[in-house]
Structure 1
Amino acid sequence: MIKKIVASFCLLLSVMTYAQEGSSSPYSFYGIGDVRFKGTTEARSMGGIAVEQDSIHINLENPASFANLKLTSFTVGGTYNTTTMKTDAASEKARRTTLDYMALGLPLGKFGVGFGIIPYSSVGYKIRNIYGDDLEKTATLTSTGGVNKVFLGLGYKITPKFNIGVDVNYNFGVISIVNLETNNNIQSGTRETNTSNLSGVNFNIGSMYQTKISKKLSVFSSVNYSLSNDLKSKNTRLIETATVPETIDQPDRTISFGSKISLSAGIGQARKWLVGGKLVFQEATDLSNNYNESPNVTYGRAGSASIGGYYIPDYGSYSNYLKRIVYRGGFKYERTGLIIRSEAIDNVGFTMGVGLPISGTFSNMNIGFEIGKKGTLSSGLVQENYANISIGLSLNDKWFEKRKFN
């Protein structure tokens, strides 16, 4: 069954990845857009905590986790987002439905392999400005595109308590920003289209460790380090008026990402409860490109802090389904690294969710809820109040079993 589901999603992937508009945030104008990937649905429901060595859920943030898999695991997730964008003078609402990730994990003895695709960031907004003495001029700024990530990871279990892993990511995408200006007194307007084709490779290395400190209690830890890397941006500019369109080649740019380290730790009782925390630190980046450079915009160090956990009333209950549900919750604070008019663009959110077992299998459906705030009203900027509903499937089965009978 899982093989048919995987094949079906693969057929739909190319359409969904490129057709979706993953962001409506005006802040997605800067850099590579609004970074959307925050982990799987089950991890996001706990504020981003994914520290336990899980055998049936894929951890997409630490490649060492692949060595824990006991069954072939397929995971896919998507989000419905609604955002209210506010300034001191106005308020607008936007809605988006997006595919967040799709991955497959294979257990290979002490090794584990994971691969998949993640729509990593999105650019998407439309801003219209009407001005002039008689309001005869209109300027419309529209953007589309983003960056996708294809990854391949390998984990190895050195001891029953300690794993290491590495993954390689190929990042690619196209970002297009169109500026259309019209005048009621002129028949034809002017359209300027800036296009950036992005590509690059980066590497992550990780480790996970767990040990018992009593008969029931265990402690967990996770470290993931992303090496500094670059994205190559090939830029072009097309200017169209009533005359012949003119294509102007723009200088290619290098978008640089600083190294990033993620540290997680937790304590709990396996298949019962877990409480954990996570800290992320990233060096300053240089995300400026030909279309989004501004003297009022800089990029600083980024990072986040989060806490979260889960509780299962009775994992082995056969008579009461509600006792087998996983209840999750968490809190996160994120500094995006984007600074506009000396104001840091921060993100604060509360999360919760449930994991619903699929009877008769090791598979489950995960539902997550998140409410939060991004940005600020200070200095004439935009504050985004958002609510997300995420749904993820974690499907598990045995593959490559040797037949006992022909």
Structure 2
Amino acid sequence: MIRKFILPVLLLFSLVSFAQQGSASPYSFFGVGDVRFKGTNEMNAMGGVSILPDSIHINLQNPASYSSLKLTTFTIGGTFSATKFKSYNGSEKAQRTTLDYLAVALPLKKFGVAFGLIPYSSVGYKLKTTDDVNEIIRRYSGDGGLNKAFLGLGYQLNPRISIGADIGYNFGRIETNSIKYLGIAQDGTQEKNVSELSGLSINIGAMYNRKITKKLDFYSGITYAPQSNLNSNNENNIFSIIYLGDVTPIPLDYLDAKNYKNTVKLPSKFSIGAGVGESKKWLIGTEVSFLGSNTFSNRLSNVTNASYENGIKYSVGGFYIPNYNSFSNYLKKVTYRGGFRYEKTGLIINDQKIRDYAFTGGVGLPVGGTFSNVNVGIELGRRGTALANLVEENYANVIISLSLNDKWFTKRKFD
């Protein structure tokens, strides 16, 4: 069944990931944009805790988990996001619907192989500032983002320990525009920057589990992604324009375009977590991630009001299944998830540290008599601050994902 869906969905997802504008945040101006990927819906609904070696769900955060899969698994997830932006100058609202990830994993005895595509970051903002004294109006906009295609391998050393690694190819295009003009005149100037980004990254991981008592299990996981570099080919254009409100500006006189190359450093990331639970019944765990953001470099060299420090994220969460084997009561077979995460992003703007936190929850709904399921999650959070002429974002995300399971490479007894 899965094989009939994979190719057309992969093609559709590839097209949509290039076309969609996955962010409306003004913070997506910095670096490579608003980093969206926080794991699959199942893990995200638990606050981002990713220590469980699941047999029917792909854990994209720790490649060691691939070896725990028992069936070929296909997963796809998307988010509807509603955000309210608040500042001293007023408030605005925005909505976005995006695809978050697509992946396929295949169990091969003690090995597990996974591959897929993830929209890693998004740029999407429209801002306006007004200097009433000099009657100068400035408008800023940007779109694009970074995508990641990955291939991973996990291996089970023994029933307790698994290791794994995945390699990703990061690629994307980001375009930003800034327009400056006088309120009493139609003529203005526009600066357009286009960056083509590409580069490799790697993520390695390990998982450990053991019995504590007859029913109680201990789980732990660790991942490390070293600092990686992106090659950025940039083009800068400055020209005069006729600006007529929301109509596309009409270019007049161009200066010679400037083309240059630079390197964008993506920060290293180290995560470690642990938890306890009863197999196919419940789990409670915690995880902490350290981000080496102080080495991060901006895509554009003319950003002066932003700097970076090392980031850190704390996660706590878990799940509960009333009765995994229930035949008479569907609600008892549902997986109930919940969690909380708090993150110091490492981004500092106008001397204000940008923080992000959210309460998360969700349910896993079994499909028929199979191991496949539909997962619905919700995320309620806040990012940023309205201090220092910045923006506070209050967001509500509804995440829906599909996990299909099937057995491949099994010889038929009957045709």
Q: TM-score range by the shorter chain?
A: over 0.9
- Give the counterpart letter for 2:201 in structure 1: N
- Give the structure 1 partner of residue 79 of structure 2: 79
CA distance in 1, matches of 2:94, 2:330: 37
1:137-152 alignment, distance < 5 Å: 137-152=136-151
TM alignment of 1:5-404, pairs within 5 A: 5-132=5-132, 135=135, 137-183=136-182, 186-241=185-240, 243-283=252-292, 284-290=294-300, 293-294=303-304, 296-404=305-413
Change (3 A) 1:252 1:12: same
1:188 and 1:77 mapped to 2: Cα distance? Answer: 45
CA-to-aligned-CA distance 1:99-152 (integer Å, 9 cap, x gap): 1000000111111100000000001011123445585x5322110001100100
Larger deviation, residues 126-135 vs 307-316: 126-135
Deviations 1:347-370 (A, max 9, x none): 011001000000111100000011
Q: CA deviation at 1:52?
A: 1.2
Amino acid at match of 1:405: F
Residue by residue over 1:358-387, the C-alpha shift from the partner in whole angstroms, topping out at 9 and shown as x without a partner, is 011110000001101100122221111111
CA RMSD after TM alignment: 1.5
Letter in 1 for 2:191: E
Task: Indicate the percent of aligned positions where both proteins have the same amino acid.
Answer: 50
SS at match of 1:399: coil
**Aligned residue pairs: how many?**
404
Shift of 1:318: 0.5
Residue 159 of structure 1 aligns to a residue whose secondary structure is: coil
Question: Which stretch of structure 1 is more off in the superposition, 300-309 or 183-192?
Answer: 183-192
- Unaligned 5+ runs, structure 2: 241-250
1:13 deviates by 1.4
1:107 partner amino acid: P
Q: CA distance change for structure 1 residues 134 and 257 in 2, over 3 Å: closer, same or farther?
A: closer
**Matches of 2:385 and 2:194 in 1, distance apart?**
29
Instruction: Give CA-to-partner distance per residue, 1:58-109, whole Å, 9 cap, x none.
Output: 0001111110111100000000001111112311111111110000001111
2:220 maps to amino acid: S
Query: Secondary structure of 1:387's partner?
Result: strand
The separation in 1 between residues aligned to 2:93 and 2:267, in whole angstroms, is 33
For the residue of structure 2 that corresponds to 1:123, the secondary structure is: strand
Query: Please, what TM-score do these two structures have when normalized by structure 2?
Result: 0.94
CA–CA distance in 1 between the matches of 2:47 and 2:380? 11
Checking the alignment, whether the CA contact within 8 Å between 1:236 and 1:247 is kept in structure 2 is no
> Matches of 2:176 and 2:131 in 1, distance apart?
21
Question: CA shift at 1:249, angstroms?
Answer: 2.1
